[in-house]
Amino acid sequence: MLRTTILLLSVDEAPMLAYSLPAAAAQEGSDVFVVDNGCRDDTPALARQHGAKLLRYRTRVSYAAAMNMALADTGGDAVLFLNADCFLAPDFLARARPRLEEAYVGSVAPKLLRTTGPVDPPSEAIDAAGMTIDRRRKNSLVGHGLPASAFASPAEVFGADGAAALYRRSVLERCALAPRPEGTGLPEVFDEDMALWASDADLAWRARLLGWRCVYEPGAVARHVRTYSPSTRAQVSEDHRRLQFRNRYLMWVKNETRRGLLHDLPFVLAYEAAALGHVLLRERHLLRAYWAAARALPATRSRRRVVQAQRLRGARPPFGLRAPR
């Protein structure tokens, strides 16, 4: 059995952690680390109360930077990235972890069910059955909002949503972009220029370029309070919407292959024209995201050289791949 490290992130989320931490601590064959990202609440006390190890980073950093530091400070054959607002079923790891033993499986996507709080009744809708990137290069959640009974069969998906994503550690090490910019020598697994939104899709894309598959396992169930989704986007701040919009381009520039782009170019161009029209007519604040993406291009091109030098030649990620309902 692969010894699993659970990295449970808290950003002043003690009320959620009070429920997600006991559920994580109950998983057999795991070591739970609470990643305290500059918390000023009861996060450290909760970690001690439930016997979890505490990784306390007193200066708050981005999601990507916090997870990179936590990866460098821990071990384990497998790693479960877990958000404080995600509550695991008792047999979550028992159902998800065996899939990592299959050939070329580098990650596992669980069945996430929608919830608005830790003590809500059982959900009747899916939050995510993995992630997909379609032929337009638009990343989205598989099954979001569909009945909880849907997506009942295991299948290959593009990647695992970052709320609860299980990876082989060796795959994460292979996906590293470069040593951290400040020269500590710690691996940059998550792109720190992206900070947060779409960093999970970016990691999944890089793993695919290396020849690794992601499997959706419907038996591994968790409930998740979704902050950013198709159904909640209107309530998200303009700053976060701009970051998400910008990050899609950084992910694209870094991971796209010439063969893949030429194959899907009509879909990509049509979507980009429609997206620009939407920005001009409905969300003009997103115009600043184009400029932000342009400013980030030099660093993204540097990361692209690393990604493209390592990728499996001739491989093209299966855009639009979805789990069966």
Given a cut of 60, is residue 323 above it in pLDDT?
Answer: no
Helix axes 287-310, 238-255, angle to 10 degrees: 30
Given a cut of 90, is residue 233 above it in pLDDT?
Answer: no
Count CA within 13 A, CB hemisphere, residue 83: 19
> Which three-class secondary structure state does DSSP give residue 279?
helix
Give residues with Cβ within 8 angstroms of 230, minimum separation 6.
140, 141, 144, 145
Give residues with Cβ within 8 angstroms of 262, minimum separation 6.
none
Calculate ∠ Cα 137-138-144, nearest 5°.
140
Encode pLDDT of 73-111 as tens digits.
999 999 999 999 999 999 999 999 999 999 999 999 999
Measured distance CA(131)–CA(157) in Å, rounded: 7
Question: Over the chain, what is the mean pLDDT?
Answer: 91
Encode pLDDT of 159-202 as tens digits.
999 999 999 999 999 999 875 555 555 679 999 999 888 999 99
Encode pLDDT of 30-51 as tens digits.
999 999 999 999 999 999 999 9
Encode pLDDT of 208-218 as tens digits.
999 999 999 99
Q: What is the mean pLDDT of residues 227-244?
A: 79
Q: Percentage of the chain with pLDDT > 90? A: 81
Contact 153, 138 (CB under 8 A): no
Higher pLDDT, 77 or 321: 77
Higher pLDDT, 253 or 324: 253
Q: What is the mean pLDDT of residues 4-20?
A: 97
| Per-residue model confidence (pLDDT) at position 228 | 67
Measured distance CA(213)–CA(113) in Å, rounded: 23
Domains of the chain and any CATH numbers: 4-226 (3.90.550.10), 235-310 (no CATH)
Give the predicted TM-score (pTM) of the model. Answer: 0.92
Q: Percentage of the chain with pLDDT > 70? A: 92
Given a cut of 90, is residue 224 above it in pLDDT?
Answer: yes
| Per-residue model confidence (pLDDT) at position 316 | 57
Measured distance CA(118)–CA(130) in Å, rounded: 21
Q: What is the mean pLDDT of residues 233-253?
A: 89
Contact 141, 127 (CB under 8 A): yes
| Per-residue model confidence (pLDDT) at position 320 | 61
Given a cut of 80, is residue 321 above it in pLDDT?
Answer: no
Q: What is the mean pLDDT of residues 110-129?
A: 90
Sort residue 143 into left (φ over 0), alpha (ψ -120 to 50) or beta.
left
Q: How confident is the model at residue 325 (pLDDT cuts 50, 70, 90)?
A: low
Which residue spans within the chain are E strands per DSSP? 4-10, 30-37, 53-57, 78-83, 86-88, 105-114, 126-128, 131-133, 139-141, 155-157, 164-168, 213-224
DSSP bridge partners of 140: 132
